[in-house]
Amino acid sequence: MVTAVHPRPRSVAEATTPSLTTVRLPTLRHFAPNWYASVMGTAIVANAGVALPYDVPGLRTVCEAIWALSAVLLIVVLLARGAHWLHHPDQARAHLLDPAIAPFYGCLSMALLAVGIGTVSVGRNVIGEPAAVAAAFALFGVGTLIGLVVAVAVPYLMVVRHRVTAGTASPVWLLPVVSPMVAASLGALLVPHLPAGHGREALLLGSYAMFGISLIATLVILPVIFSRLVHHGRLPLALTPTLFLVLGPLGQSTTAVGKLADVAPGAIQAPYAAGFIAFAVIYGVPVMGFALMWLVLAGAMVVRAARDGMPFSMSWWAFTFPVGTCVTGAASLAHHTGLPALRWLAVGLYLLLVTGWAVAGVRTVRGLLSGALLAAPR
């Protein structure tokens, strides 16, 4: 027997109210790993603010609020990325096999480490030093492990799986190899929290080893990027902001050697400790000089791209974290040399960082509300 079911007549209210099946909700299918850049860019505003060589009234309180925001953003993005892998595994695997997107997996490690740096340097006044140190060690362990895996896995995929053609080199290629440098900076901050002895020395030298991994890999990749610019012209408009990514390993390496030099006397024998302090200045000054040169070059290209109609995209977050590393690098050099010029350089770069963060943040919120940033790429 077949029973006929007649639909119930709909009321006027039901007819005018959209059902759950008709409402177009935002999808996470195209939520790529480049969203971790917003976490990095927010955390560095707090980290660089407390590193400034001048005591600005109220700045630390503002930095504490920004650090808390970065921690919340980290949780939100981690949950969103987990949902992406759970509900869209095909797209997640496609991202890994896409040479334009896979390098952004390095941002996961740097987001964890950047929030970890903020936790031990900014958040200790908010959650207490014991909790801050414990959280920073946890973020250091997870972030460092992921960073070292990505630093090997992404170049491996580029060699054996990705189809990389001539003229496609991009500053994005630096992202997988910069994270060990960020880990070296956080490692330096954690050295004094270990008992005196072999533990401190191992963490100090291990951080220097990660500094070396990132530095040498950067020296291999940078000539390829510049060669692409010279032989194939400027980047596409939407990718032009990624030129600022070159500042990341430059500023972060200067920061790392400075922070490691600060803690070396309590972790290693005197002759080596003195050498590390000298190395911080001998290395940092010429690298910071090159960073300033690249900042002017990249800035000129961005201005030209803006005149040509450069559209907003998540690549605009490149105006934040890399510039922030130059702030901390200049502040570290100012601490070791005592030069007022380096102090003012740090302040000037910090103003540039805050401007870039504000613009990228406002445009990102606007893009989220409109749904444009979660739409399928064209």
Whole-number pLDDT of residue 51: 95
Are 116 and 190 a contacting pair, CB within 8 Å?
no
Residue-wise pLDDT tens digits, 323-348: 999 999 999 999 999 999 999 999 99
Q: Which two tokens stand for residue 107?
A: 């941002």
Whole-number pLDDT of residue 207: 96
370: pLDDT strictly greater than 60: yes
* CA 261 distance to own-chain centroid: 23
Residue-wise pLDDT tens digits, 29-64: 889 999 999 999 999 999 999 999 998 899 999 999
Whole-number pLDDT of residue 194: 93
197 pLDDT tier (thresholds 50, 70, 90): confident
Q: Write the single-letter amino acid at 342.
A: L
322: pLDDT strictly greater than 50: yes
Instruction: Give the chain's radius of gyration (CA, Å).
Output: 23
Domains of the chain and any CATH numbers: 28-366 (1.50.10.150)
Q: What is the pTM of this model?
A: 0.90
315: pLDDT strictly greater than 70: yes
Find, among 301, 167, 304, 186, the residue nearest to 246 by Cα.
301
d(CA 291, CA 19): 55
Angle in degrees, CA 36, 224, 229, rounded to 5: 90
d(CA 273, CA 277): 6
Residue-wise pLDDT tens digits, 80-105: 999 999 999 999 899 988 888 999 99
SS3 50: helix
Residue 366's contacts (CB-CB under 8 Å, 6 or more residues apart) are none
Dihedral of alpha carbons 62, 106, 301, 304, sign = negative
Average pLDDT, the chain: 90
Token look-up 């759950």 returns: 20
Share of the chain above pLDDT 90, in %: 79
Find, among 172, 337, 344, 187, the residue nearest to 252 by Cα.
187
26 pLDDT tier (thresholds 50, 70, 90): low
19: pLDDT strictly greater than 70: no
d(CA 241, CA 171): 10
SS3 271: helix
Residue-wise pLDDT tens digits, 210-242: 999 999 999 999 999 999 999 998 999 999 999
2: pLDDT strictly greater than 90: no
Half-sphere exposure at residue 39, Cβ-oriented, CA atoms within 13 angstroms: 28
SS3 169: coil
